[in-house]
Amino acid sequence: MELVATQPLTLRQAIAVCNEYQHLKGNVVISESADFEVVDRVCIAPHDKLNRLLFFKLFKEMKDAEKAINFYNDTDYDVVLILRELVPIGDFYYKILGLREYLEASGIGSGINKQFQ
């Protein structure tokens, strides 16, 4: 089975993918607005948009991705990057970006799609 960009991962798959891409931590990303950001964390998040937004809100409050996902009891997961500004002016701001979107935008392609065939 080939995973498509919108297909969720199981928790087991998300853990494996998350572990595989931990090397991205510290990479600098140039956003669409030409801001420089750094990958602060590679973590597991809910797949659907509403729960992903709640996860991100909790992450910003707690600064802990593992605690932030504790509310989630569904079976559909994804892997995301938490980005923060490279040179903070005051407090850090954070952004969330799907790993698949990052890989596609970077021209790397999504190895996730082939990983679980």
Q: Is the pLDDT of residue 49 over 90?
A: yes
Q: Is the pLDDT of residue 2 over 50?
A: no
The 10 Å CB-count burial string (b at 16+, else e) for 51-70 is bbebbbebbeeeeebeebbe
Side-by-side strand order, sheet with 28-30: 28-30, 36-46, 77-85, 94-98
In the chain, the percentage of residues whose pLDDT exceeds 70 is 79
In the chain, the percentage of residues whose pLDDT exceeds 90 is 57
Q: How does pLDDT run across 68-112, given as a tens digit for each residue?
A: 999 999 999 999 999 988 766 666 688 899 998 888 877 776 555
Q: Is the pLDDT of residue 27 over 60?
A: yes
The two beta strands, 77-85 and 36-46, are antiparallel
Q: pLDDT category, 58, cuts 50, 70, 90?
A: very high
Nearest to 115 by CA among 82, 83, 79, 72: 79
